[in-house]
Amino acid sequence: MNRSRLTLSFIFLFSMTTVFSQNYPVFIVIDEIAEDLDQLKSEFGNQPNAFFINGFTPNAIEQFASATEKLQIEELHIYAATKPGAIVFNSIAITSASLTELTPVLKEWSSVVSYKVVIHSDVVFSGDEGILLKQQLEEITGLLFSTQN
């Protein structure tokens, strides 16, 4: 009797964790000022693993944190405006200068992302500013950061 009760409890706990958390191999974050936004909306708009940043609500990074707090993600893909050393969302920019302020929220990324963050850009980690930003982001989050076009 105890064994069946234990088995039933285990099944219940497993099903509850499945209900309250979602696992995604890839999760996509798209900012409203991303290049080719219409194409991105067409491609990812109906996918449950895509999140569009709302430009009317401040702080895109906190929006992402709220949207993913119960998720487990292997790779986070970010589509946002970029320039060397900066990931630019409509409401906030991630730069070496802003990292002190953003560190607490960025550290939370490692609790939902298990492998890496891919920035869809060919310039964000270029030049001295870009190299420094990449190093700092990897140090803060413990995640691998890479780029992809």
Domains and CATH numbers, the chain: 22-148 (3.40.50)
The residue among 12 and 47 whose pLDDT is bigger is 47
Query: Distance (Å, rounded) from C-alpha 2 to C-alpha 84?
Result: 62
Q: Sorting pLDDT into bands at 50, 70 and 90, what band is 140?
A: very high
Residue 82's beta-bridge partner residues?
87
Q: Is the per-residue pLDDT at 14 higher than 80? A: no
**What pTM did the predictor assign?**
0.81
Question: Can you tell me the distance from the alpha carbon of 54 to that of 91, in angstroms, rounded to the nearest whole number?
Answer: 9
Q: 75 with 67: CB under 8 angstroms? A: no
In angstroms, what CA-CA distances link 68 with 54, 76, 109, 145? Answer: 15, 11, 9, 18
